[in-house]
A and B are shown apart, each in its own frame.
Chain A
């Protein structure tokens, strides 16, 4: 019994950078995408997360029947919105790159992403900020309101616990610092090297932090000079407008590009001119932007110029991961504990309406009887006595419903909860609340994590929605 949350997306594990950059979106277009998602009749709430390595939609379907139907409809809607987003002619074109998670596994996925268990660099801290940004954007756009919002908020708590209770983030290694390490393997010592940051966003800030203590100097070149100047103040760097990019490249040795430009900011012709002015001195580009900022042909065609994008850093990332893998088990234990708690909450959420309805009905019947008596035989009673009788009915309701309420709440976390809810609804003629199919447990565990064993509810059909880490074809 859980919420039919759906996650559909693509990451560095399923799609190369050429594909990811087609999906990537800056903060400026987020409201538009979110509006498109929530405008769909099949989607109730949605969040759009776009990072260098991951683009995904987290959605909560509208209840349109069974869990399966709601999930399937939302999945179609999300895929279709993604197709529109990149202007692809058909959903099939995307299918091989997209992964899909539903229900409990979607919740687990959201928690794992926030906790940096799904990041290219295990334990890197940027992802939490990026999820928070996506959350803020979705809240601001009115796309996150209640249950999905609660799920993502819970993911922040999970991430915080993982960071403080394990060593997963120890010796913080991000893509930026991995890139710095590669720069050191090219130049040896960075103390006599100048680093140019093209872009002044979060990734540029991370790069500035990594390089700040090691490089001779940092220069920042950005389309918005004001933003470059602000960042430069923080890191004792030199800011320059984007118009001076060529002269800045001549002065620099390591270039970290992280702008949100949709086209190449650093072109082959530009670097050709720059290399002439540099008299062939080595120039190393670290392109951590998606879409890429640096023309990859520079690497192929120009001597002494090297371009590495986020995918190229995979090798380095893999090395760093080795030392962090020991902490994965502890982090996953936290995630699993939190997923269980979430499931309990989600299940109790499905029981609560029945309890509320039961209380309302019981109290309503008793109060109606009391009102009738007060209008005839007990007409002589004063205000104080009438109030005492109302109080008595309140107490009687509480005492009468204490045992069934407790039983229902206890059963909420178990498979028997479904039967009890149904029984209560039938026996007391209560209005039907969340469709019974929603109360089904789901599905086999994803390969990268070991979820707690899920016991199928007796008498209920087998899990209905398949999901896995594998690439899924579009439905």
Chain B
């Protein structure tokens, strides 16, 4: 991170502390203005094609029984972040949880009991201090692999994504300081599951189609999303997405494309509005004769389908509404792995090349 940026982050954290101290000195109830992170405070920006955060704030007070715990957690997170920036070290979210966990004197109360609490405090801090987690030196677990004909520089190491054996390059949670040295690819395929990534990697699809293949388990992590966005923006590579054929997969796609509700404030650093869904679509299920692999929807799936269908970013999309309707009729989901029933390498020999060639995707 550049030292100027570092100074800015440190300054933001100190300003936050000083504001609280000023409240205390004036004899006021110390308070923080916390932007609200919920569906009620986000909007879908039609022009940018991104989920953006509105400006609604909530007041968090120290002298309030319902707030006091969160208040102190947030300030403690800020103190921790300041320390990390100063000594130039990074902690994982889990480590940060243990740093913050301590018992209040003369009581059996822990400042944080669960990692979800410290995570929430750190997420609030990102908003209050206007600095993303990565800049606060707190990282998520790395969870993602990439392969392709790309050469990068990371911490002065030169890495060739095409020469990393069967595992590929593990994507770190902070990709800000990575420099692309050579990019020889026409597009990126992101997939929901590591199993599919291994399939495509074993079949050397990235070599055959001259592309980059990338995955993380389930919902794409911030590092993966940022890396996708940088490839998309800095090297104009189209991004194609492979997810399971169900409403959950549709949402994973929409997060990469439009941003997420909880990280709406970071959409500009993460969203890829021109990303496209390669599959599985509901149409695929019919077209590729996968009906016999349908896993019947449970109540929660049906509920999720209704939810996703009505999100602003899907609501007016005719193609997508057609898919949702078909899903409802099929009343079941199909996993990417089901394509192997058509042949061991069916996905890399036929499915993906065919789709790309025929521009058979959803936008």
A and B pair up: no
